Structure 1
Amino acid sequence: MGTWTRQQKIVAGVIAGIVVLVGLSVLLWPDDPAPPAARERDYREVTACLLTDQTGLEGDLAKPAWAGMQEASLANRVQVQYLAIAGPQTADNGVTFFNTLGTQKCSVIVAAGPVPVASMVQGYKQFPGVRFVAVGGDPGGAPLAVVNTGSSDSIRSGVKDAVAKV
């Protein structure tokens, strides 16, 4: 086994070259970039819920109320969600949607508009321990926090403050 044939030398050279290339590739290959930042938020066990009329988040009262809820969510790690009343825009129909939010363990329920507020007034007693906030409408003496509806900014700010307290 003293001398190598020309063919053995070529094979050994090719193998050595492959080993060197693999080694250099491993050493010089760029590191994986840092994983992207997590996109999900770490929420507290608190949910703020918005009840709207059939216009959803596009309503004159609901839009700034939702903006305030989102600001409170970012600042206080509160989950937010909304539900629009579908079908007839009456308190009797709306209380079904209000009850849905109540059974979803909402810590605070914000009602934006006359029908959602009337629905809240009709159903709030079923959910002790939940905070209730009325934006527009007539709370009719019910123990609800009432937000000033003088401007979009006052609605946004009032709802933000109410949600931040939970």
Structure 2
Amino acid sequence: MESWWARRRVLVMSAAAVALLAGALGWLLWPEPEAPPAPRERQYRAFTACLLTDDRGIAGEQARAVWDGMQRASLAHSIQVQYLTVDGPQTAANAAAYFNSLALRQCQVVIAVGEAPVGALIEGKGRFPSLRYVVVGEASQVDGVTFVPETAGDRITSTVESTVGDLVGSVSN
């Protein structure tokens, strides 16, 4: 009988050792959990730059160059950018509603490209004195408005990028 108990004890101890070894190997060889995927959402500052364009939208040469500069500024400074196209008659009076919409959307900077959008900005900027304004193209100097001269597309892009970057810095400080 003792041999039966001795064999049983050896058998139980062997089974426990095998189970313990299997558990240790399983724990050591278990694959690391995959890292969570990188967030797809960008974290933005509380700053939005808005573009008001004529009826061609960002398909126009100047507007495309401005939009490219705004997107570069967005990447460099983690700001949001958006644009709005003036639909209908291309007059300052019609564009005023679109300008007001951007101002009420909490845009900190409003950039205008095209005759009607520029006219609406110049006429309406007094209603929203806390905003910063940029006009691209030929226009007479107006207090409180930064002018980007009409030049080649690459020059407009880089000038808008640095202008928006400067405005982000001046608002953040």
- TM bucket by the smaller chain? 0.7 to 0.9
Q: Deviating runs (4+, > 4 A) in structure 1?
A: 20-29
Aligned to 2:12: none
C-alpha deviations, 1:108-144, integer Å up to 9, x for none?
Answer: 10001112111111211111111110012x5444221
Aligned to 1:90: 91
- TM-aligned CA deviation for residue 29 of structure 1: 4.5
Aligned to 2:165: 164
Paired with 1:59 and 1:118, the residues of 2 have a C-alpha distance of 18
Paired with 1:84 and 1:149, the residues of 2 have a C-alpha distance of 20
Alpha-carbon distance change, 84 to 21 in structure 1, aligned in 2, over 3 angstroms: farther
SS at match of 1:165: helix
Q: What code does the residue aligned with 1:40 have?
A: E
Aligned to 2:48: 47
Aligned to 2:77: 76
Aligned to 2:37: 36
Q: Write 1 or 2 for the structure with the bigger share of helix.
A: 2
SS at match of 1:94: helix
Paired positions, count: 160
1:5-20 map, 5 Å:
none
Aligned-CA RMSD value: 2.8
Question: Contact 2:141/2:147 (CA < 8 Å) preserved in 1?
Answer: no
Paired with 1:86 and 1:25, the residues of 2 have a C-alpha distance of 66
- TM-aligned CA deviation for residue 37 of structure 1: 1.3
TM-score (norm 2): 0.77
1:146-165 map, 5 Å:
146-165=147-166
Q: What code does the residue aligned with 1:103 have?
A: L
Stretch of structure 1 that moved more, 72-81 or 31-40:
31-40
SS at match of 1:74: helix
**Structure 1 unaligned residues grouped into runs of 5+:** 1-19
Identity of aligned residues (%): 45
Q: What code does the residue aligned with 2:101 have?
A: T
Stretch of structure 1 that moved more, 109-118 or 28-37:
28-37
Paired with 1:44 and 1:164, the residues of 2 have a C-alpha distance of 13
Paired with 2:85 and 2:95, the residues of 1 have a C-alpha distance of 9
Aligned to 2:142: 142
Alpha-carbon distance change, 53 to 25 in structure 1, aligned in 2, over 3 angstroms: farther
- Match status 1:62 vs 2:63: yes
Question: Contact 2:99/2:120 (CA < 8 Å) preserved in 1?
Answer: yes
